[in-house]
Amino acid sequence: MKIILAFDSFKGSLTSLEVADSFEKALQIYLPHCNIHKVCIADGGEGTVDALVENLEGEYIEIPVCDPLGRTITARYGYIENSRTAVIEMAAASGLPLLQPHEYNPLKTSTYGTGEMIAHALRLGCCNFLIGIGGSATNDGGMGMLSALGYKFLDKEGNILPCNGEMLSKIVHIDSSQAMSQLHHATFTVACDVNNPLYGPNGAAHIFAPQKGADSKMVELLDNGLRNYARVINSYKGGNIDTVPGSGAAGGLGAGFKAILNARLVRGIEMVLDAIDFDRLIADSTWVITGEGCIDRQTLMGKAPAGILHRAHSRGIKTIAIGGKVEWCDELRHSHFTAIQAITPPDMPLDVALQPSVARNNIMRTAEYLAQTLLQK
Written as one string, the DSSP assignment of 173-213 is EEE-TTS-GGGGG-EEEEE------SSSTTSHHHHHGGGGT
Q: What is the predicted pLDDT for the residue at 280?
A: 95
Q: What is the predicted pLDDT for the residue at 301?
A: 84
C-alpha dihedral over 17, 20, 21, 26, to 10 degrees?
A: 170
d(CA 368, CA 26): 6
Structural domains in the chain plus CATH codes: 2-39+277-373 (3.40.50.10350), 48-268 (3.90.1510.10)
Could you give the C-alpha distances from 170 to 36, 57, 164, 227, in angstroms and in order? 57, 45, 11, 11
Q: What is the predicted pLDDT for the residue at 45?
A: 84
Non-local CB neighbours of 260 within 8 Å, separated by 6+ positions: 142, 146, 151, 174, 233, 237
Nearest to 321, CA basis, from 37, 47, 50, 5: 5
**Segment-wise mean pLDDT, segments of 10 residues, the chain, 377 residues:** 94 92 94 93 89 94 98 98 96 96 97 98 98 95 98 97 97 97 97 93 96 96 97 90 92 96 95 95 95 92 92 96 94 94 93 94 94 82
What does the pLDDT look like over 79-111, one tens digit per residue?
A: 999 999 999 999 999 999 999 999 999 999 999
Q: Contact, 142 vs 174, CB < 8 A? A: no
Q: What is the predicted pLDDT for the residue at 377?
A: 63
Q: What is the predicted pLDDT for the residue at 11?
A: 86
Residues across the chain:
377
pTM above 0.95, yes or no: no
What angle do the packed helices 304-313 and 268-275 form, to 10 degrees? Answer: 50
